[in-house]
Structure 1
Amino acid sequence: MSTLSPSSGRSEKNIQSQESGIGSPERVTSLYNETPKKTSWSEILEESSKNREELDNYLSNKRREENQITLDSLPAIAYLNEKIFPSLNTALIAMLERVKEEDSFYHPKTAFNGIDFICEYLYNSNSKYPERQQNPQYIFDMDWVKEILEKSPRPYYPFSLVWNTNHAALKIQSFMKGYWVRKREDVQEMRVFWKHHKLTQHVEDSP
């Protein structure tokens, strides 16, 4: 009758048979003939090489896709080229012909307004409303123009006739300087603060 080991609960006979099998000549020969496994360093190098190859392939494909993207292929630019610029180019050509008729090339201050002419031309030549081409309207006879001028009437004389070149340049420079200052992050934060403060004060003072 075999006794049990107090630590593992296995019989001493089984333990002796296992210990004798470890150092047997057959076991040593089988271990010697087995193919050695790759070292950990070899596995690391192989995995690193594989990852590096995948990264190189990804970068090369990404560069190829970026090279295929051009400015004209962007949705906004494509829409402008297909929908806006053809009509706008036609309006600009018509405006230049009108300027030539008015002899405005050599006179900086004339009654001809290029912006009004382009708006009138684009409105009357809109392809969605072919009836406008048959009965073109003068810009100041259009209903939507009348509504805008009622809310924001124009001065009797436009600034292009009243201001000289130096005064106009000063106005443009002051406007751009103010715009660049207002768009700064610290100035924007301060403007938002005072806007919120005024709104809060108005709510508190209201009955």
Structure 2
Amino acid sequence: MAGKGTDRKGKSKDTKPTTETAVDSIANFTLPDNLPTDEVDYPVLITRKVTANWREILEESQQFKDEIDVWQRQRQRQQEPVLKSPFKKTETDYIKDEVFVCLIPALEETLVKAKIWRALKTEKCFFNGIDWIVQYLWNNNPRYPQRANSPQHLFNMGWVRKLLKERPRPYFPKSWLWPNDFAATLIQKTVRQYFVQREDDVQEMRDFWRKLKLERTQFPEMDVNPLLARKFASTKSIPRK
């Protein structure tokens, strides 16, 4: 039986470089005379502090903060203020430009009076912060500058005396009568109620029942008058009484 022929070529063992050849090539390597400096990566010496000084950290952070503040001031000076047209002014602009200008000084004076009366440490204190804010805003109203020359006490004002005759206050305020647990529960309940009632679907449902109640009490001819029904349905909300 004849043997099968094959076309495979035997691999020569002389193709791989020997160890002696590799050593000779490394030994014959010489560094070139002219080596460009841009191709050389010089090692960078990194020095690190072994221990951190807290005072130096605070000084560096304060210096960095001061640099940011200076940069922001320079940028604000370079930028010219852009005046908004009246129809583009929002409620936030009105509160910032009209309300906070008078309210913030009143709150600062209230905190000063509260420290004098020790209202933050005394549970049942005679000082009433809301009454003091009302008195301060009334006496320092920028529309009536003559009131600042002759300031009045809150209970000496005519409109306050008239209001107290119509709706007199209780002898003791509720903050003196309620225990802390009941007051905290009531505050939490009021806050949760506010966040729930501000939702769009809850407002829509409340408007629906408010319109239905008003329709049954004040507009009994709604069923026979289609024009009145259409006008009533187009209104978005009904003001509370």
TM range (shorter): 0.5 to 0.7
Q: Does 1:177 align with 2:231?
A: no
Matched residue, 1:189: 204
Task: Give the length in aligned residue pairs.
Answer: 136
Aligned to 2:29: none
Residues 108 and 192 of structure 1, relative CA distance in 2, 3 Å threshold: same
Q: CA RMSD in A?
A: 3.2
Cα gap change, 1:129 to 1:196, in 2 (>3 Å): closer
Aligned counterparts of 1:112 and 1:98: Cα–Cα separation in 2: 8
CA distance in 1, matches of 2:95, 2:201: 35
Counterpart selection for 1:108 from 96, 100, 123: 123
Change in CA separation of 1:204 and 1:129 when aligned onto 2, cut-off 3 Å: closer
Amino acid at match of 2:180: T
Aligned partners of 1:156, 1:187: CA distance in 2, in Å?
38
- Superposition deviation, residue 192 in structure 1: 2.7
**1:54-104, CA deviations, whole angstroms, 9 ceiling, x for partnerless residues?**
xxxxxxxxxxxxxx8x9xx97655554554434333322322222222222
What stretches of structure 1 of length at least 5 have no aligned partner?
1-67
Question: 2:169 maps to what in 1?
Answer: 154
Name whichever of 123-132 and 166-175 sits farther off: 123-132
Higher helix share: 1
List aligned pairs for 1:66-77, cutoff 5 A.
77=92
Match of 2:220 in 1: 204
Share of identical aligned residues, percent?
39
Q: 1: CA distance between counterparts of 2:100 and 2:201?
A: 38
Single out whichever of 167-176 and 94-103 deviates more from structure 2.
94-103
User: CA, structure 1 residues 192+91, in 2 after alignment: closer, same or farther (shift >3 Å)?
Assistant: closer
Within 5 Å, which residues of 2 pair with 1:1-207? 77=92, 79-202=94-217, 203-204=219-220
Query: 1:113: how far off?
Result: 0.5
